[in-house]
Structure 1
């Protein structure tokens, strides 16, 4: 998916959780291979305005579905020391602005994690039409410490790379 120039008609679209998700790569501070995993999308809405820069995005990821290739690590990450999924079962995103340039579209907003929040910028890296809407991919780098996940600083690098794939349906 590389076409970021398709037109999406103005209107309100729902993110289809069954066809959407987030993948991530977290890095060790000592240079080992990255830890890769996935987090399911719980819900979301995209409102495309007549003037694209006035569009809005909101989405929630389901922290209880955090998965890597290591169930023991997953339980620890979902636990009180890291994401505290029992008290904070979602990671939320709410856009504050949408910008476009020759380099592509950016959706800037507030990412809420574990009761904290930080600004992130999602770079739209692909769009393609589907039978009932469109599929969009976006990437971002999250500063987990700024977002409130401060545990593990000696072992886990500060930044986590995230790729989102969402299917919008009308």
Structure 2
């Protein structure tokens, strides 16, 4: 089944899928230097599972990301972000997303869930704008915009690190 007209969203066949960490990425975009510059970085996806339900509104998702894998191409920045003053990845090595509900909103699907980072769980909504079959599995692109890092208790680096960030997920999952 395809939903929407501009960029079709193909509803995958009901079943259990495992996220392929080698082919999946989590991209980060945020501001720095009092909002004057933009930082682009990635995190490594460790694992995850998508259970596509019938009806699709019962679909569940769980994913785990390596908090210490922040990579912006600037070694000093990467150490600062993963260090005790911000993500504290030694104490909080994983970032987790758990979907608690799925609903259609026009031409896209929304995944309501929680992100747990830095030991704090915060409600988040991911907007799926692309979903297509890839081999026997699927490739999904989802975006979470304007997340507030302070909600997760990540408050260090004021002025040098922007308060809000966007996440783009490109996930490839194969039948389990």
User: Scaled by the length of structure 1, what TM-score is found?
Assistant: 0.94
Paired position in structure 2 for 1:165: 170
Q: Distance in 2 between matches of 1:33 and 1:22?
A: 20
1:103 maps to which of 94, 100, 107: 107
Q: C-alpha offsets along residues 51-102 of structure 1, whole Å, 9 cap, x if unaligned?
A: 1111101001111211002101101111111111111111001111111121
Aligned partner of 2:148 in structure 1 is: 143
Counterparts of 1:49 and 1:21, CA distance in 2: 24
- The match for 1:126 among 125, 130, 137 is 130
CA offset at residue 104 of structure 1? 1.0
CA RMSD of aligned residues (A): 1.3
Contact 1:28 1:157 (8 Å CA) reproduced: yes
Residue matched to 1:44: 48
Pairing 1:67–2:71 present: yes
* Aligned partner of 1:94 among 95, 98, 101: 98
Q: Which runs of 4+ in 1 moved over 4 A?
A: none
* Displacement after TM superposition at 1:36 (Å): 0.6
User: Structure 2, unaligned stretches of length 5 or more?
Assistant: 1-5
Number of aligned residues: 169
Structure 1 residue 29, shift from structure 2 partner: 5.8
Tell me what 2:3 maps to.
Answer: none
SS at match of 2:152: coil
Q: Deviations over 1:125-153 (max 9, x none)?
A: 11121113010000112211112211122
Secondary structure of the corresponding residue to residue 149 of structure 1: coil
Unmatched segments (≥5 aa) in structure 1: none
Write out aligned runs for 1:5-44 (5 A): 5-28=9-32, 30-44=34-48
Question: What is aligned with 1:117?
Answer: 121
